[in-house]
A and B are shown apart, each in its own frame.
Chain A
Amino acid sequence: MGSENKNLKRGKTGFGISNNFMLLIILVIVFIIFSFLDKGFLTLYNISTMFRNLVVTGILALGLTPLMISRGIDVSFGSNLSLATVIIALLYNSGLNIFLSMLIAVLLSTAIGLVNGLIIEFFNLNALIATLGAMSIYMALALVISNGTPVGITSDVLFKLSFGSFLKIPIPVWVFAFIILIYYFILSFTVAGRTVFVIGANPIAAFSCGIRVKKVRIILYGLFGLVIGIAAIFLTGLIGTGSALHGVDFLLPSLSAVLLGGIGLSGGSGTIWGSILGITIISTIFNGLTVFGIPSEISKVLQGLLLIIIVSIYEVRSKKIRE
């Protein structure tokens, strides 16, 4: 009886060390491999560029984490992201102040997140399928608004935001770290944060305890929309265009990162740090692949396979633990 409970404890792997520690080991191994293959890997310039590029994926995965912990999911974030970048570009190009453009885009992406949450919770839909449908709608919307072509945008403010550094650390990384701290604080130290875990572990019990499950989930969807907007700002700044087609490239990496970090689809457990490690590992690997000239098609294949492998490993392991 006692040993069963020990195995079911959150974060335990079959090896007797915590999940996050295992991921940390994997990350270190990946870093070591890449620093052997590429002499310039461990320079400050390279590391900061890598982190600057992983911010978008990272922010997305960060917003997805509490949502998935509460047994919700939203795969439409790629299209939401695309739509926000298109909005920023179009508004600014039509003469609107850059800050106003960014604000409107963030408000819009938050609204989209809330709409997702409302529809899913109100109609009790399967979140995965419903947001799959939502994904195609928002992408179509982005295509309609941008008329199918990417919208270029050049703004000094945006450029400084995305490429600037403060104390040698890129500004996007500062923002990312800030968001990490906020999420960590809320999830670990506030009652509201802890209810997210309870909802994920056992929604029915949570409801019996008086927790407004639906309301919390809707808020999480909206919060996810908010961070999508922030990520969109950096994405637009980094690539200089608002395009309806770029968002879908972030779907698999961010989702894989969260799943790698130990947030299972069944929710209830997981930590922010797990997701961070997941993001870092995945971004480092794929960034490294690009640096070594591996074409994007092969990256795409690997992304798909990696997603399946990650989930399979966790699935096999949880089966072993259950035995």
Chain B
Amino acid sequence: MKNTINKNIFIRFNPFSSKSISPTLVIVYFLMAAFFAIKNPIFISLKNYQTIATNAPIIGIVALGLGMVLLTGNVDLSVGSTAGLVAVISALILRNTDFPIMVVLLIAILIGLVIGTINGLIVNYIGVNSIITTLGMWAALKGAAMIISGGTIYFSNKGFQLISKGFAFGIIPNVLIYFIIIIILMYLTLRYTKFGRNIYLVGANSISARAVGINVKRTKFLVFLLSSSFAAFAGILLVSQFAGAAYNYGTGWEFKALTICIVGGISLNGGRGTYVGLFLSLLIIGSLSNGLTMINMPIYWRDFFEGSILLLAIIIDSFRVKNFKEDT
């Protein structure tokens, strides 16, 4: 074998996709869309798709970050509270100061990075279980958002609102563009860079990954940064959409993003899943809430339904992991 050391960060890596979940997801989506369309034809109108495309990508961005953490075998439950805290802080800044939009955006991402650093340090360098850590952060950040906001915060800054409310070419919502850019970047990272390959290997078998020289702790640490900063970005988008923030923004996002990831084929055990699946899964879950509203399902039944989907996805995921283990 040739004795070369590859210093290039770009490599070709083909994630195992022997049993890709994507075809199933496509079928599921069309079945679901057909069902909703029959019950309420407004579902397949352009206006409705625009509505979906304005709301779904925001949680989709959160799921993109969370997916990276899941791939390494950890969980990040603090994403919802992170988004909420960032939303509240950004709204405060926008109302009380004259900072340009870019500065506010940078501050938001910075907050996300700080939170991600804390999460990553505690999970990877102290060694606390990621669920417990991020559960604690979930509560702490939520409380912090409550303290800082003291109620709803409104502001009016037309330029800022355009960030998420604007439409490119008049019909495609801006948030969808952001989402597509980010998902393409993430997909390329996962598939063609060393970092992306490391994520998969660390998630699949961290001991072997360590044995081949991958810095497991650093990889696992970095994905927390991604997850929290994506959540922060989503928080900004939310604030921009509603021209204000309340402390309960982002509530329940962690479950929704988790559902999107698991349905998209990202295994809870780590190391499995592609972002193609995640995209399709977002399509399904994003349209689901919209569709359930279209058929007039009462609001709390919707929560129950979506919660059941999460549990179902977890169960199906455990089967897929078992099957995969039997294959190898």
Contact = CB atoms under 8 A, between A and B. Distances in A.
A308 B307 contact: no
Contacts, number: 132
Contacts of B75: 129
Interface string A160-176: 00000000000000000
B126 A316 contact: yes
Interface string B283-296: 00000000000000
A191 interface: no
Interface in B69-114: 75, 77
B146 A300 contact: yes
A144 B268 contact: no
B185 to A, nearest CB: 28
Given A252-B139, A307-B139, A130 B300 contact: no
Nearest to A73: B131
Given A124-B318, A297-B143, A134 B132 contact: no
A147 interface: yes
A198 to B, nearest CB: 23
Nearest to A128: B131
Determine the interface band of chain B, counting residues with CB < 8 A from chain A: 35 or more
B28 interface: no
Nearest to A125: B318
Contacts of A252: 135-136, 139
B133 interface: yes
A204 B229 CA distance: 41
B125 to A, nearest CB: 10
Interface stretch (B53-61, B197-205, B309-317): B309-317
Nearest to A244: B300
B128 A315 contact: yes
A319 interface: yes
B180 interface: no
Interface stretch (A58-66, A106-114, A135-143): A135-143
A316 B122 CA distance: 11
Interface string B132-162: 1101111111111011000000000000000
Given A133-B310, A265-B132, A308-B122, A301 B315 contact: no
B146 A311 contact: no
Contacts of B137: 304, 308
A119 B141 CA distance: 32
B293 to A, nearest CB: 16
Nearest to B81: A304
B143 A299 contact: yes
B146 A297 contact: yes
Interface in B237-254: 252
Determine the interface band of chain A, counting residues with CB < 8 A from chain B: 35 or more
Contacts of B303: 136, 139-140, 143-144
If over half of A's interface residues share one DSSP class (helix, strand or loop), that class is named, otherwise mixed; here it is helix
Contacts of B252: 136
A304 B138 contact: yes
Nearest to B119: A308
B301 interface: yes
A302 B141 CA distance: 10
Contacts of B314: 125-126, 129-130, 133
B143 A308 contact: no
A315 B268 contact: no
B255 interface: yes
A209 interface: no
Contacts of B138: 304
A123 B318 contact: yes
Contacts of B144: 297, 301
A140 B300 contact: yes
B131 A137 contact: no
A304 B318 contact: no
A318 to B, nearest CB: 9
B169 interface: no
Nearest to A295: B147
A1 interface: no
Given A301-B144, A308-B137, A312-B128, A143 B315 contact: no
B136 A308 contact: yes
Contact of A305 (B126, B136, B322): B136
Given A128-B131, A316-B126, A297 B311 contact: no
Contacts of B129: 265, 311
B142 A300 contact: yes
A291 interface: no
B132 A136 contact: no
Interface string B214-230: 00000000000000000
B159 to A, nearest CB: 32
Contacts of A308: 122, 128, 132-133, 136-137, 140
A148 B127 contact: no
Interface in A281-306: 295, 297-306
A313 B313 CA distance: 34
A130 B311 contact: yes
A260 B219 CA distance: 30
A134 B133 CA distance: 20
B308 interface: yes
Contacts of A129: 75, 131, 268, 314
A149 to B, nearest CB: 11
Given A252-B139, A297-B144, A301-B143, 8 more contacts: A125-B314, A132-B258, A143-B300, A148-B300, A295-B147, A300-B140, A301-B139, A301-B140
27 contacts: A123-B315, A123-B318, A124-B322, A125-B318, A129-B314, A130-B311, A130-B315, A133-B255, A133-B310, A133-B311, A136-B310, A137-B311, A140-B300, A140-B304, A143-B304, A144-B303, A148-B300, A252-B139, A300-B139, A300-B146, A301-B140, A302-B140, A304-B136, A304-B143, A307-B132, A308-B122, A308-B136
Interface of A: 75, 119, 123-126, 128-130, 132-134, 136-137, 139-141, 143-144, 147-148, 252, 255, 259, 265, 295, 297-308, 311-312, 315-316, 319
